Structure 1
Amino acid sequence: MAQLNSQAVQDIPHLTLYGAQLASAAAIAKAQEIQVPEDIAIVDASQQLLHFQRMPKAKYASIDIAINKAFTAAGFGLPTHAYKETVSPGGPLFGINNSNGGRFMTIGGGLPIEIDGRVIGAIGCSTGTPDEDRQVAQAGVDAVLAHVKKENGLQALRM
């Protein structure tokens, strides 16, 4: 498909299924390393689910949480843990967690995947503690960024 050049159309990069699978494999490896079964969800820049993996013994209740962590990170462009203080009673974003049909997540484990300052997707992990979920999600983000950097022979990649 030819590159479009129009003020009426945007060219928005999206994470591919291949990229999502790279993220998932790295996240699973990290989860196994820290011995925490995880539900792992990867979405594209439009917050649409690309890939989901439920490890054996991961919590059933964490399935939607993982998906919604990825949804929040992609849609708002920040890690889910960044909202913890601002959504508390009296905080400037108090109540936002009720937006988007209750899908807005404020606990750690949702990270955007960004290249050159543009969100191309996100990963959400759930079952462990918020810190464990963040570690697992970070492994997924790092795998995608390392692949893109290597594939493009880049010395530096803004993340």
Structure 2
Amino acid sequence: MDLLAFAKVIANRIETESARADVPVSVCVIDIHGNGVLMHRMTGAPAFSMEIAERKAYTSALVGLRTAELSALVQPGKDLFPLMGLAGGRFCSMGGGAPLTTDGQRVAGVGISGGTVEQDVSILEGALRETSSTLNAAS
């Protein structure tokens, strides 16, 4: 599988959803080893959104969960609370990150940032639904 080509498909879908929502975002895809595959910032997305998108992608790639789901698990007193202090603070529990799979195997994580957490989650979910439909139709 060509991970860069897959990442570009995901990024294009995110840009489409972002344009529909009129919320420019940064997009990052990181492989399951923590290496960057793709990163870009749409015109108008805040500069800091690149770092947040990268942290969301890193978290989803390595932990294998959507960052929105992780948030409840890293609160004080919860089993994964120590996670947020690991890896020099690279983990992020704000919504807007999701693991990416192909053939049932996790291959990467994607993170977006630029809007509110709710906007980021909505854009990401719409893009992943669209990508899933397109990839399934092509199979």
Query: Normalised by the size of structure 1, how large is the TM-score?
Result: 0.78
Aligned residue pairs: how many?
139
| 1:67 counterpart residue number | 54
Structure with the bigger RCO (C-alpha within 8 Å, sep 6+) is: 2
1:131 equivalent in alignment to 2:118: yes
1:88 equivalent in alignment to 2:66: no
Contact 1:41–1:70 (CA<8 Å) still a contact in 2? yes
1:148 to 111, 119, 135: 135
| 1:8 counterpart residue number | none
Distance change (3 Å), C-alpha of 1:17 and 1:118? same
- How far apart, in 1, do the equivalents of 2:17 and 2:126 lie? 6
Equivalent residues in 2 for 1:10-29 (5 A)? 16-29=3-16
Instruction: Give 1:147 deviation, angstroms.
Output: 4.2
Query: Normalised by the size of structure 2, how large is the TM-score?
Result: 0.88
- How far apart, in 1, do the equivalents of 2:97 and 2:108 lie? 11
Contact 2:40–2:50 (CA<8 Å) still a contact in 1? no
Return 5+ residue gaps in structure 1 as ranges: 1-13, 153-159
Return 5+ residue gaps in structure 2 as ranges: none
Contact 2:10–2:131 (CA<8 Å) still a contact in 1? yes
SS at match of 2:58: helix
| 1:51 counterpart residue number | 38
- How far apart, in 1, do the equivalents of 2:31 and 2:130 lie? 16
User: Larger radius of gyration, structure 1 or 2?
Assistant: 1
- How far apart, in 2, do the equivalents of 1:69 and 1:22 lie? 18
SS at match of 2:94: coil
Give aligned-pair identity as a percent. Answer: 27
Amino acid at match of 2:79: P
Instruction: Give 1:97 deviation, angstroms.
Output: 0.7
